[in-house]
Amino acid sequence: MTTTTSDRVVETTFGPVRGADDGRVSSWKGVRYAAPPVRGLRFRAPQPPERWTEVADATRYGPACPQPVFPNMPLDLGAPQGEDCLRLNVWASSTTQPGDRKPVMVWLHGGAYVLGSGSQALYDGRRLAGDGEVIVVTVNYRVGALGFMDLSSFTTSRRRFDSNVGLRDVLAALSWVRDNIAAFGGDPRNVTLFGESAGAGIVTTLLASPSAEGLFARAIAQSSPATSVYDRSRAERVAETVLDRLDVDADRLPDVPTAVLLAASQEVFDEVPVRNPGLLAFVPIIDGELLDDYPVKRVQEGRSLPVPLIIGTNKHEAALFRLMRSRLMPITPHAITSMFDQIAAEQPDLQLPTDEEIGSAYSRVRRRARSLSIATDVGFRMPSVWLAEGHSAVAPVYLYRFDYSTPLLKVLLVRAAHATELPYVWGNLGAPKDPTLKLGGRKTAKAVSKRMRTRWVNFAARSTPAGPDGEPDWTPYREGDRACLIIDKQDTVAHDVDAKILAAWGSQMVGFR
């Protein structure tokens, strides 16, 4: 395994790759970690790629997983789309050498399990890796129907389908990191898995999966939809609906043109949350293999992997979905009422909050904003608090809430909405397509970003999320005081900030979807 500063060639277990160096940061992009999941490997667990002997170019991103275009959620994926998408990207400081054993941070992008890629400009790892403290890896995994449509019940003697192939992609990428990251100067025993939204949902799901044991030493979950994990019967109904739209038998699915599959799955994706507010079409499932129960339930029973965890949400998560006029979250009184009615019908033994408990929990919230607050708590905050409560019994947990917003986001009434913390974690504020600083606030935003990056990197390196000198000590979450870091213009550590919503939602909502 050799690395040279001039051409940055690294020998991996599958073959040599040549990266690039800009004098501060070395990068290797589009590195293959699994075989192309095409034809007979579509809807199958990832397989090792064929070994290569010629040096492979790793200076450009590999294909992003094929995905539909949502006009109200435009994304620049940073690369063309293609099913040969099981690639990852590595960043390390230019001075890093094999044997340095630096901490590694492996990133899982968000996107409601149907969108996104590791090549999005927002996730460029130069800033996070540039100080030389950590090595950064971003991962492409299969999304939408290609990654999270469960066809395992359609397996026959002629055709096999695997469950949770998107999760299996991430496990394969983590296995690649374990086997190869030392050649890039990283420590395979010191890996932090971190992600946001659906990426954080994968993090919290893998926390509850024995298959992930030993593949990461720490975890960070930013705005995890941790309860969006369904049983096999619900997943099978979604798959049947897609097959009906395509008018094909499951046996023929590997041969359906990508564009045709995407069109049919997008229709189903759009329809599911309209018929069933609060539900997504394509999510991880309880398959009895990777996952034998709901992650929140496993965590609350003390059956999660005992790794230190940072977990938290943004104060106004649901505001993004209102701005984008998205139906992915139930953000109107009618949608929320419909969601509760359906849950009560499906799970009659589940104790839902009473009107009085809801009124008490949100008494300080303006009536017009109450639905957004409930949606934020149902979708993100309460699942994160439930996970903090349970996981703190097996490992240290650090709970946060991101409250900061720039002047422009305040004017737009978005404030600290879903995903607004991302440029602060990555240090990529003010990117060409980031308009959030147009009304000012750059100096404060840069200070917030420095504090977040410092805490995230220190956690990855030493399991303790210490901030810069002079910043408050972020203490672990314990039942006695329920410490929570509030990230705003200044960092503060508050206690029991979720007392009112905990009183309303309680801890009995383990089966809540």
Parallel, antiparallel or unpaired: strands 9-11 and 56-57: unpaired
Averaged pLDDT, groups of 10, the chain, 513 residues long: 61 98 97 97 98 98 95 89 98 95 98 97 96 97 98 93 98 98 98 98 98 98 96 95 97 95 97 94 97 95 97 97 90 89 78 86 86 94 96 98 96 95 94 82 96 98 97 96 97 97 74 50
Indicate the residue type of 178.
R
C-alpha distances (whole Å) from 34 to each of 86, 96, 363 are 6, 26, 52
Any idea which residue has 């919290």 for tokens? Answer: 204
The three-class DSSP label of residue 242 is helix
pLDDT of the residue at 512? 52
Token pair 């990855």 is at which residue? Answer: 460
Residues with Cβ within 8 Å of 247's Cβ and at least 6 positions away in sequence, in order, are: none
CA 182 to chain CA centroid, nearest Å? 25
Q: Report the C-alpha gap between 161 and 148 in whole angstroms.
A: 12
Domains of the chain: 8-15+28-314+456-475 (3.40.50.1820)
Please tell me the predicted confidence (pLDDT) of residue 450.
97
At residue 509, the pLDDT reads 53
User: Using the 8-state DSSP alphabet, how is residue 230 labeled?
Assistant: B
Q: How far apart are CA 93 and CA 97, in angstroms?
A: 9
**Catalytic sites, residue numbers:** 197, 317, 418
Instruction: Please tell me the predicted confidence (pLDDT) of residue 348.
Output: 72
Cα–Cα distance, 381 to 313 (Å, whole number): 6
DSSP type of residue 379: I
**10 Å Cβ neighbour count for 104?**
28
With tokens 């192939």, the residue in question is 165
Per DSSP, 477 falls in state P
Of 464, 463, 467, 457, the residue nearest 487 (C-alpha)? 467
The Cβ of residue 455 has, within 10 Å, a number of other Cβ atoms equal to 25
The SS3 call for residue 314 is strand
Farthest-apart Cα atoms in the chain, separation: 68
The CA radius of gyration of the chain, in Å to the nearest whole number, is: 22
Single-letter code of the amino acid located at 19:
G
- Cα 44 to Cα 395: distance, rounded to the nearest angstrom: 34
Strand extents, DSSP E, 387-465: 397-402
- The residues, ordered by sequence, that sit 6+ positions from 141 with a Cβ below 8 Å of its Cβ are 65, 86, 108, 147, 166, 169, 170, 173, 202
Token readout for 506 is: 């309680």
Q: Would you state the structure tokens that stand for residue 83, as one six-digit string?
A: 């099913």
Does the pTM exceed 0.95? yes
Alpha carbons 479 and 481: distance in angstroms, whole number? 6
pLDDT in the model for residue 430: 79
